[in-house]
Amino acid sequence: MASTSTTETWNAAWTLSLRAHRKRLTDNFFDSYPTLAAMRQGNALEVESGGKEIKEDLLYSGNTATYFSSYDTLNTDSVDGITAAFFPWRYCAVPVTISRTEEVENQKSDAAMKLLTAKTEQSVLTLSDQINASLYSAQTGKSPLGFQDIIADAPSSSPTTLGGITISGNSWWQNKANNATSDTSFKTITGTDFYEGMIRMSSTWTDTSEGATEPSHIFTTADLYSDYEEIFEGTGYARLSTKDTPGVDGRLATYRGIPVQYDRDCGSGRMYFLNTQFLKLKLMRGMEFQNTEFIQPANQLAKVAHVVVGLQLTTNNRRRQGVIYNLTAS
């Protein structure tokens, strides 16, 4: 790749590499973590076009229905009950760098393509690490919202606003939270011979369910998952599924028919009940893992480009999301 060591040629080669491997790279991104994989499988991944904010329409109360007969006068009063939340886009970028020595060492076209593919895979995995960690965090600085914002431990007060809507006084815009206290675990038995961890799971399930609308996924820490699996395997409360699920190895424990999984980024003592019908990871069209062109920084014998993504975690129904916190692992 003697004449191929120009910036233009590297840009062309990188574009070709991404075209050839985009699907695999995208699969690698989402399959790297069970939470990202679950959101993709649960149709919680959505691509939207443009705008500075993402609009989520919210229905927080119904209208008025009236029985009538014959010539009764019908109610024509309008009723509030529909509003909207607005979530700002966030952006994340990871650099892809090629030094002058790497250029020289990979002058052949096949070697150059292998180098670009390896560096792109590295950048995509770095993005998955960053974004998955953000899911289990609270929003700070320029990062996106996380579960600690949308599925907060103190849903009536923290954060004070979400999507531009005040939290306090609006119970319809508050998630469900269950403080397990520090002595509650899956190996602690109550006076009724029932495991306390299961009691917390049962109440959180009830709180986040309504009719046929139930949680779709449960995520927790590795320690709490092990306790749950160990205590309830084969008892009727937990089942082990052999279903092939990206992001995890082996079999999965379930609760009421939905998967219970662990994620290394989940905060200590927490168990999240997600309903992906109302919880979305939005990607900006045109910035869903797109590449910029290589440029030559001043005073450096290297070229640098970026893989970029525009994203945000959103919800249009916090009431269907829940968290148990302060669980104790053995």
| Domains in the chain: boundaries | 3-59+80-325
DSSP codes of every residue in 259-316? EEEE-TTSPTT-EEEE-TTSEEEEEEEEEEEEEPPPB--TT-SEEEEEEEEEEEEEES
Residues of the chain below pLDDT 50: 1-5, 236-237, 242, 247
Measure the CA–CA gap between 138 and 322, rounded to whole angstroms. Answer: 15
Residue 182 pLDDT: 63
Phi, psi angle pair for 232, to nearest 5° = -105, 0
- Do residues 213 and 192 touch, judged by C-beta distance below 8 A? no
Tokens of 56: 């989520």
CB atoms within 10 A of CB 135: 23
Phi, psi angle pair for 7, to nearest 5° = -60, -40
Measure the CA–CA gap between 326 and 184, rounded to whole angstroms. Answer: 8
Residue 167 pLDDT: 94
Residue 123 pLDDT: 85
Residue 112 pLDDT: 78
Cα Rg of the chain, angstroms: 24
Residue 252 pLDDT: 74
Domain 3-59+80-325: give its CATH architecture. Answer: Alpha-Beta Complex (3.90)
Residue 105 pLDDT: 85
Residue 296 pLDDT: 86
Residue type, 210: E
Measure the CA–CA gap between 183 and 262, rounded to whole angstroms. Answer: 21
Residue 4 pLDDT: 44
Strands of 302-315's sheet in order across: 45-48, 279-291, 302-315, 90-99
